[in-house]
């Protein structure tokens, strides 16, 4: 199926910095101006994802809060839908995507607003630390710290700690999958559900797998390498196979007993195969899992609700699935 024509028109008009064209391979990171490159990429990502929609769903309230990170406070935002209900209600802890290098609360605000509205759950979005300023495992440590914080403080926000889902797109999906696995490894309080939106579940390579579809929104071999080197590093000390950053490679035991999952995939996405492989490993371990593929969509399409009605519908569908799983619908 071809790329959705509306998204194709947007991609034709939006240009990444030359450094990250799909056919570009960045090999000598020692000569890269990390700050300049990262700043340019963050500016481009912000311009392309930040939008104000006049017809966005109305929420009861939106609150900026501070949560505990692994090494200090983190900014976060709570989205409370009009139909949140009375008493202790379910919630979704959301981690934004961006390769652990770009993205913030604002870039993914519309996803969170629409997810809260569709699920009738509070959504708590976390502004975890980014690379290259903060290398692996900083984002992963912040994700666990934020999850622990939410369970401790749940009742202060009218949240039922037994009905907290984790969710995220791309690298945020990586963090959601990691939190779920890590709680199994620790024998802790696992999330009630995991929503993985075109997740990045391995951080080793996307070039050597013979992919036909290299098109995607903010994903290409050169960009993947930049993200990986920015976060994991390079050389002997880098370990992209570490199961924390590559949960796809976790042992079978780490999949047993994981919370139910819903995995959203895109037809035009270099990460499609690994997302499906992760869903297959969940199913093989006896974890209830559903998969929804959007054949004409590109990686990151849920950030494009300003130009794509199917993107809005896809978020609504995902939100309804989470809401039914948590009992808010």
Q: Which residues are catalytic?
A: 170, 269, 299
DSSP annotation of 3 reads: P
Q: What is the 3-state secondary structure (H, E, C) of 122-182?
A: EEEEECCCCCCCCCCCHHHHHHHHHHHHHHHHHHHHCEEEEEEEEEEECHHHHHHHHHHHH
> 139 and 100 in contact (C-beta within 8 Å)?
yes
Report d(CA 211, CA 135) in Å as an integer.
Answer: 28
Three-state secondary structure call for residue 279: helix
**Rounded distance between C-alpha atoms, residue 117 and residue 249, angstroms:** 34
Q: Which helix (H) or strand (E) holds 223?
A: helix 221-231
What is d(CA 187, CA 329) in angstroms, rounded to the nearest whole number? Answer: 29
Could you identify the residue written with the tokens 């593929």?
293
- Pairing mode, strands 289-298 and 261-268: parallel
The DSSP letter of residue 212 is: S
- Give the three-state DSSP class for 190: coil
Is 109 exposed, middle or buried (CB count within 10 Å of its CB: 0-12, 13-18, 19+)? buried
- Which neighbouring-strand residues pair with 39? none
Bridge partner list, 168: 95, 196
Tokens at 276, concatenated: 């499906």
Of the chain, the end-to-end C-alpha distance in Å amounts to 33
């Amino acid at each position: 199926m071809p790329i959705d024509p509306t998204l194709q028109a947007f991609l034709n008009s939006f240009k990444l910095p030359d450094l990250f064209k799909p056919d570009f391979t960045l090999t000598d990171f020692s000569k890269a101006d990390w700050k300049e490159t990262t700043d340019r990429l963050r500016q481009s990502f912000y311009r392309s994802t930040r939008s104000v929609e006049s017809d966005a769903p109305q929420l009861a309230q939106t609150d900026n809060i501070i949560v505990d990170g692994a090494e200090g406070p983190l900014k976060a935002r709570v989205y409370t839908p009009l139909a949140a209900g009375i008493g202790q209600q379910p919630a979704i802890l959301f981690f934004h995507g961006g390769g652990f290098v770009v993205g913030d609360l604002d870039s993914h605000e519309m996803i969170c607003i629409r997810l809260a509205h569709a699920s009738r759950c509070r959504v708590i979005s976390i502004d975890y630390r980014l690379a290259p300023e903060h290398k692996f495992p900083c984002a992963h440590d912040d994700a666990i710290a934020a999850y622990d914080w939410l369970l401790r403080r749940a009742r202060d926000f009218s949240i039922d700690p037994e009905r907290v889902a984790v969710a995220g797109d791309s690298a945020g999906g990586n963090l959601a999958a990691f939190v779920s696995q890590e709680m199994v490894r620790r024998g802790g309080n696992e999330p009630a559900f995991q929503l993985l939106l075109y997740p990045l579940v391995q951080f080793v390579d996307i070039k050597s797998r013979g992919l036909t579809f290299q098109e995607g929104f903010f994903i290409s071999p050169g960009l993947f390498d930049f993200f990986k080197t920015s976060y994991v590093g390079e050389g002997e000390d880098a370990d992209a196979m570490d199961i924390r950053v590559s949960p796809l490679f976790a042992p079978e035991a780490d999949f047993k007993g994981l919370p139910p999952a819903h995995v959203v995939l895109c037809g035009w996405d270099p990460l499609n195969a690994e997302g499906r492989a992760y869903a297959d490993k969940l199913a093989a371990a006896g974890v209830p899992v559903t998969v929804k593929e959007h054949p004409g969509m590109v990686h990151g399409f849920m950030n494009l609700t300003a130009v794509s009605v199917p993107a809005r519908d896809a978020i609504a569908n995902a939100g309804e699935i989470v809401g039914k799983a948590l009992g808010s619908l």
